[in-house]
Amino acid sequence: MTMLRWAIGGRRAHEKSSGLKTRAMANTDLRSNRPLSPHLQVYRPLFTMMMSILHRITGVALYGGTVLVVIWLLAAASSPEAFDWVTDIYGSILGRLVLFGFTWSLMHHMLGGLRHFIWDFGYGLDARGRNWLARATLAGSLSLTLILWIIGYAVR
């Protein structure tokens, strides 16, 4: 019967039936007694931690790059003058640097996603495997970016 009262009436019904009194919390200042949560300043930066942060940053950068692609497509759809204007901006030194960064961001985020896909199958989860995959992601993204840009200039 006590369990039924507990389930139906909650804690108060149980306390009334069993003669227990509810205790008020004596210490209302709990924050002063609790330890602080660790922050990035506490941890020694590991390569895999930096790659995780970089993966998130490249994900955000891809939004900006997608806006650039949309601007280019809108200019192509609107008029030859608008397309020439956007192409001139993207073809400048600063524009090419931004596009190079967008390409690297895309390659890095793609390879980071493949790294997580490998982890989903249970491979590379040990310390050696994590470090190897993180280094391979960085080296692969730089290599693929350079290869794509070399191919782009060769067919131009």
Q: What is the pLDDT of residue 45?
A: 85
Alpha carbon 139 to chain centroid distance? 19
Q: What is the pLDDT of residues 39-54, one digit of tens each?
A: 766 778 889 999 999 9
Which candidate, 127, 104, 120, 130, places its Cα nearest to that of 52? 130
Give CA–CA dist 57/130, Å, rounded. 19
- What is the full DSSP assignment across 19-70? TPPPPPPS----TTTSPPPP-TTTSPPPHHHHHHHHHHHHHHHHHHHHHHHH
> Does the global pTM surpass 0.85?
no
Q: Which residues contact 109 (CB under 8 A, 6 or more apart)?
A: 55, 58, 59, 62
Alpha carbon 143 to chain centroid distance? 22
The answer to whether 148 touches 110, Cβ cutoff 8 Å, is no
CB atoms within 10 A of CB 140: 18
**Does 26 score more than 60 pLDDT?**
no
Return the domain boundaries, the chain: 47-155
Domain covering 47-155: architecture? Up-down Bundle (1.20)
Give CA–CA dist 151/156, Å, rounded. 8
**156 falls in which pLDDT band (50, 70, 90)?**
confident
Both tokens assigned to 132: 């190897």
Rounded mean pLDDT of 6-25?
Answer: 51
Q: What is the pLDDT of residue 130?
A: 95
Q: What is the pLDDT of residue 2?
A: 52
